Chains A and B, each alone.
Chain A
Amino acid sequence: MKQQQKRAAKGPMLYVKFVLMLIASGAVGAACSMLVMGNTDGLAGLARQLSEGLSAAGIWLMAAGLLLAAAGTLLWAKAQKLIPKAMEDDEAYETADRTLCLSLALAGLGTPWLLFTSCLVFPGAFARWDGVVLLAGLALLILENAWFFINQAICIKSAKQLAPEKQGNVFDTHFHKDWYASCDEAERQRIGDCAYFTFRVMNAIYPVVMILLLVIGITYPVSALWALLLGGLWLVQTGLYQFRAYWLEHVKNKH
């Protein structure tokens, strides 16, 4: 009741805030456009410098993935040591579960990091035909890929020791489906919370990046492929969410 009263009191202010946000967004957009139009050469130089810098740093960023993998393995080892005690003691269980969760999170970040840094390393190295960077990149790609995968596999194995009811084999393409099917109501609710949080954050990021692309694209030649990539990803995300919501609401339970 109190919350409803608070919301009702805030009513007119919400609209004022919305209008102010629109005006502020327009002003920022206009300022950016003028800045871009007045500094086309500077922007081109900045983009070139940034691209070259990222390409040069790529191999080191890729190597930093080793730290991510090592941290994941150390956390897993710490959790694994606690498992025998965790089977008996609830507090030890909490600590083991939390540590394992962190290790799994690092292992999950591994593949996107590896692919991101590969995109920085290989195109530039091929263009320059830089054999040392190419070989180092290839070695890191194979090593880290295997390490991250092993981290994921051992984390899942340990998670199954803590929760024997869990199903799914990491070598199976249906792993996520089987794992979800073996989750109970609280776990499914949290998976839903995480997924919805990610959806909301990404829905805030996409328009900002697309507007930035639009502003820059007005004066600086930006490949249409960037618009296709970003717009395509945004459309796929929103479309999947909306159609899934429609299907759950109006199709699934009607038969």
Chain B
Amino acid sequence: MPLENRLKELRAAKSLNQQELGALVGASRQTISLIERGDYNPSITLALRIAKVFDKPVEEIFFLTGEEEP
């Protein structure tokens, strides 16, 4: 089941570039880029750190799409 996110949109709203967001959450710029493209699913720790930066619950940033059945 694909995991989608609103990271790019939220980052733009906060006027952060990938490098700056990466530095805030302790990840590389490349990793932020991969997450935004949907090529990498972050760990719970990283997802929580990202949620903290945007002051939003994790599920408002990351959400599952498609089939509900596991």
Which residue from B33, B40, B46 sits with its C-beta under 8 Å from A90?
B33
Q: Mark contacts of B16-58 with chain A using CB atoms, 8 A cut-off: 1 yes-contact digit, 0 otherwise.
A: 0111000000111111011100001011001000000000000
Shortest A78–chain B CB gap in Å is 18
User: In the complex, what residue of chain A is closest to B23 when comparing beta carbons?
Assistant: A165
Q: Is the CB of B70 within 8 A of A1?
A: yes
Known contacts A185-B43, A185-B46, A189-B40: A162-B29 contact under CB 8 Å:
yes
Which residue from B17, B28, B42 sits with its C-beta under 8 Å from A187?
B28
User: Is the CB of B69 closer than 8 A to any CB of chain A?
Assistant: yes
Within 8 A of B (CB), among A71-126: 87-88, 90, 93-94, 97
- Residues in A neighbouring B19, C-beta threshold 8 A: 87
User: Is the CB of A163 closer than 8 A to any CB of chain B?
Assistant: yes
User: Is the CB of A186 closer than 8 A to any CB of chain B?
Assistant: yes
Interface size on A, residues (CB 8 A): 16
User: Is the CB of A184 closer than 8 A to any CB of chain B?
Assistant: yes
Shortest A191–chain B CB gap in Å is 12
Q: Is the CB of B17 within 8 A of A186?
A: no
Q: Is the CB of A186 within 8 A of B40?
A: yes
Q: Mark contacts of A168-206 with chain B using CB atoms, 8 A cut-off: 1 yes-contact digit, 0 otherwise.
A: 000000000000000111110100000000000000000
Q: A189 to B17: give the CA distance in the assembly, Å.
A: 23
Shortest A2–chain B CB gap in Å is 8
Q: A185 to B47: give the CA distance in the assembly, Å.
A: 12
- Residues in B neighbouring A163, C-beta threshold 8 A: 28-30
Query: Could you list 9 A-B pairs, sorted by A, with CB under 8 Å?
Result: A90-B18, A93-B33, A163-B28, A183-B28, A184-B27, A185-B46, A186-B28, A186-B34, A186-B35
